[in-house]
Structure 1
């Protein structure tokens, strides 16, 4: 295999002693940025695969243990909720604690029978929200009463005004659409369209040259036909995705062109190439964002955080420590409540204090 097949798609820093032109510098910049984005995309995919594997192996069992412990705690609290020694306010706090924990827990329970049993407990203790609901309903009722105070004539008048406003807005949008269709493109728009067409033509020309040399149907040797078939598949994929860089790399690989050929391209032709490369770079950047965003949503991580692939394992280790700590605390709570029934009042008091001080709970499910 010759060195030309390994030559990168890049214009040398100085071609025959001449400094690089503006389009040549832009061409090299696009090539570098595309390479970085491809490397970043590969890093994300590799890091996500490793994160997903370890999450399934270590985090999921810890999360299941958390679910079981909370369910066990809730059942114990439910059994103690009818204790006559509890004051009315304490029972209310206890019911709120039970219902609140079950609201977050029920959907995470895989067993249907267990889920149904926990739902019954939730329904028994979920009445604490009824007062707020009644108050909210009362406010809404008041608003409805205010609306009903208008006369039928006023109501119809407002309705007619709304309908007329909607008609006028719809007509305005239709007129704007018609005006857009009638408008002739300006010089700048025409120039942009011509540049896009020329860039597309440049990519098509490279594709035709590659297809002409690599078409496997014209090859009689079986081994060479197989090689060209594989290369032609890469050509078709690159052309379908408008990946100019890949097409140029294939031209270098089969020695259809040399690095000197790219360095000798005119500024006008390079401008066409740069337009396509800029689009390819933009698509790669969007792909990186989509991969990152999908990962963050999959594991419930904060989308506003700036994460790097190299930091994912550190994030997971911290997450595992949080769940382990939560499970340890739950076991301690259960053991203390079971060992001493009188500890329930202290638990309720601590729950009240936590509700006052707490601004947000840690989510153990991401």
Structure 2
């Protein structure tokens, strides 16, 4: 798996000098290292995700399709057994339970509509009606859950018949509520601003504004220095103009993201500062740099957490099982290996169950599951 290209190291002091660094200098190095690690972890996990998605299409889905076809063959075998003579009422009841469970899942999740006639034959109502009622029941449960979680009152005529519509309605209601809350806060802020401020309040606001300006200035100073050196407009040589244009794209991108680390790297790369410059940064400047770096680190932390959650939702695995390229690869390899074992087993079962005596013997061990129980055939 490819890694990010080698970049200039941004660090204050050598390893031997670390012990004598100031608290701000040590914090600067720690934050830089954290950002480096998070950037690499995000890059690797995104690369791994793309690789895994490709493998799902090429390696996993064909096996899943093959497995689903064998499951459909098993449904047909059970249906033929039900229609044949020699099976007791108890055995036929178990066959119906198997047909209903497996066929419903294959129709609902795999789109195998050719099994609908068999499913309908063994149920009191047809699949489409049953599924519509199930969707309605699910929608009502989702309404109750979402209403409790987000404090939303659903209108009687609102259409939340599928998860997408439900999500859209919830987002709309939350957005309206947030807009109303934002307006309320704005009005409260305006009322507060209209009130005379005490001397201490004025001092606090002045310090905060000054600090925000200095933080912005810290990034802007680096940006302006690079712009002065690499702006391509006055460059006559075409090759050099193209080079500077590319550099300016990198500079502008880093500035728009307030990416202090990237701007420092660019200065080091193009020799506008050297390592000694970093070592002589004033404590006041370091203070602002560290605030920017802390914000960068937090944003990357949040981004990595969100990516983990997205992968967990996509794969149905806990977050710890998809938090690294190795974990993702291991998880997919395990799923593929299990699917291959399941295919081998179901092929063997179909062959064996074609003998009525063997099927009858196996039905003796099969138990009709209760709604809150889990059956072997849920994995079939």
The TM-score range, normalised by the shorter chain, is 0.7 to 0.9
1:52 — aligned with what?
53
**Residue 95 of structure 1 contacts residue 128 of structure 1 at CA under 8 Å; is this kept in 2?**
no
Question: Which SS does the other structure have where 2:366 is aligned?
Answer: helix
- Structure 2: stretches of 5+ with no match in the other structure: 1-5, 131-136, 138-179, 194-200
1:94 — aligned with what?
95
2:25 — aligned with what?
24
1:149 — aligned with what?
none
Between stretches 287-296 and 208-217, larger displacement belongs to: 287-296
Give the distance between the partners of 1:302 and 1:18, measured in 2 at CA: 40
Q: How does 1:342-353 map to 2 (within 5 A)?
A: 342-352=357-367
Q: How does 1:26-41 map to 2 (within 5 A)?
A: 26-41=27-42
- Relative contact order: is structure 1 or structure 2 higher (C-alpha 8 Å, sep ≥ 6)? 1
Residue 114 of structure 2 corresponds to residue 105 of structure 1: no
Flag the 1:25–1:324 CA change in 2: closer, same or farther, 3 A.
same
Q: Deviations over 1:165-192 (max 9, x none)?
A: xxxxxx9999777445433578667645
Flag the 1:336–1:6 CA change in 2: closer, same or farther, 3 A.
closer
Question: Which SS does the other structure have where 2:45 is aligned?
Answer: helix
Q: TM-score, normalised by structure 1?
A: 0.74
RMSD: 3.7
**Residue 322 of structure 2 contacts residue 331 of structure 2 at CA under 8 Å; is this kept in 1?**
no
How many equivalent pairs are there?
319
Flag the 1:288–1:212 CA change in 2: closer, same or farther, 3 A.
same
Flag the 1:86–1:240 CA change in 2: closer, same or farther, 3 A.
same
Q: TM-score, normalised by structure 2?
A: 0.72
Q: How does 1:265-280 map to 2 (within 5 A)?
A: 265-280=281-296
| Cα offset, 1:55, TM superposition | 3.0
Give the distance between the partners of 1:74 and 1:189, measured in 2 at CA: 73
Q: Larger Rg: 1 or 2?
A: 1
Q: How does 1:1-366 map to 2 (within 5 A)?
A: 7-13=8-14, 19-109=20-110, 115-127=112-124, 178-183=187-192, 191-303=207-319, 305=321, 307-338=323-354, 340-352=355-367, 359=374
Give the distance between the partners of 1:21 and 1:320, measured in 2 at CA: 53
Between stretches 349-358 and 279-288, larger displacement belongs to: 349-358
